[in-house]
Structure 1
């Protein structure tokens, strides 16, 4: 790979880590409330979701693209899951009744498998992520003349750059834990719930917008 291609892949990974979405907010929240290790495991789940989408985009057939393009139920289901999860997060009062005068202690036991799966599915239900990687495959693949080795290296650099940037975000967010009180932690959780519900509603509404399908039409034409 040429230096410019490596540089572009690194920049894509860096800016991808700052795309505002539910994963962004949950990663920050997990780092603040549960620490570095928990946030890192969550992020690995997210990246596995990205890898899955990249493989689907790369090996996907025209019929699969047509199905995604014409089936708004994917948006409805993904949005509904986000909406319900956000509502549960908002209504959860487990941290509200912690005695303010005592030191705020994070739970000693953390279910890392649950965090890993949470990161994976939270990313996987977002059809927009698949659309992004599908577009990247079309653009990058044509520039690299569909060379499998070059494409593999290019996307590996993107994901490694993305992970390193996320680690930096996790470490910065962790510093906020020192100023975190039980009352503030409860407020953060409720805010995260609202954010998830907003993204859920937005994803559901995307299923009702026909013009969104134009992106898939253009992608399919390029694939053909």
Structure 2
């Protein structure tokens, strides 16, 4: 049990530093909107992770293993991410630099929007589902696929992830004092470009044909002797 918790904590720490759109947008949100705003965004990300973990754990392994490689899902998710990045970038082109300022959200609705942004940005990335499925199939047998052990493992993993993110948010927040309106615009544009790039990458995963040799399949557990 202790080994499982230690594995969860270690995984959560390294998961926090995985480079992706969430990583960059979390930093950007902390710099431009503040500590609480970044936490709201991060909580949305965590909810998506929790949902994917639950889906991967409770659903049919064969079904999820097939879905995670479905090109249509990668293309759909990539299009959404790419479109969001393009729209955000176009909006920034129309923004007057003088009007930009470092201001935290002043309405509860804005925090909810950031929460939803974090959730959707993580949820449309089908690779996250594949990641958690791989974790469950790899580590699940070591925990006898016991729901209590598995969700305790996940809880410590997410706790370590969140605590590490708090340090990232705090460090990024220190840059706020050095940002001018012109630099704020640059940060926001870079974030939009990052989202577009990752959207394209996800789309390419779905568009490029995969041969049987190149396709990565997660080994499925033998279900015949589990009754």
Q: When the two structures are superposed, what TM-score results if normalisation uses the length of structure 2?
A: 0.89
- Choose 10-19 or 66-75, whichever is displaced more: 66-75
Whether the aligned pair in 2 keeps the contact of 1:17 and 1:162 (CA below 8 Å) is: yes
- Measure the CA separation in 1 of the matches of 2:59 and 2:69: 15
- Choose 206-215 or 7-16, whichever is displaced more: 206-215
Deviation at 1:71, TM superposition (A): 2.7
Whether the aligned pair in 2 keeps the contact of 1:144 and 1:151 (CA below 8 Å) is: yes
Secondary structure at the aligned position of 2:98 is classed as: coil
- Residues 118 and 96 of structure 1: is their aligned pair in 2 closer, same or farther, counting only changes over 3 Å? same
- Measure the CA separation in 2 of the matches of 1:131 and 1:70: 8
- Choose 106-115 or 38-47, whichever is displaced more: 106-115
- Choose 68-77 or 170-179, whichever is displaced more: 68-77
1:57-136 aligned within 5 A: 57-62=56-61, 64-65=63-64, 67-69=66-68, 71-93=70-92, 96-99=95-98, 104-106=101-103, 109-110=106-107, 111-136=110-135
- Residues 27 and 223 of structure 1: is their aligned pair in 2 closer, same or farther, counting only changes over 3 Å? farther
1:148-205: CA deviation from partner (whole Å, max 9, x where unpaired):
2111111110000001101111011001111111000111111111111110110001
Which runs of no fewer than 5 residues in structure 1 stay unpaired? none
- Measure the CA separation in 1 of the matches of 2:24 and 2:105: 23
CA RMSD of aligned residues (A): 2.2
Q: When the two structures are superposed, what TM-score results if normalisation uses the length of structure 1?
A: 0.90
- How many residues in Structure 1 have an aligned counterpart in Structure 2? 219
Whether the aligned pair in 2 keeps the contact of 1:29 and 1:188 (CA below 8 Å) is: yes
Secondary structure at the aligned position of 1:210 is classed as: coil
Which runs of no fewer than 5 residues in structure 2 stay unpaired? none
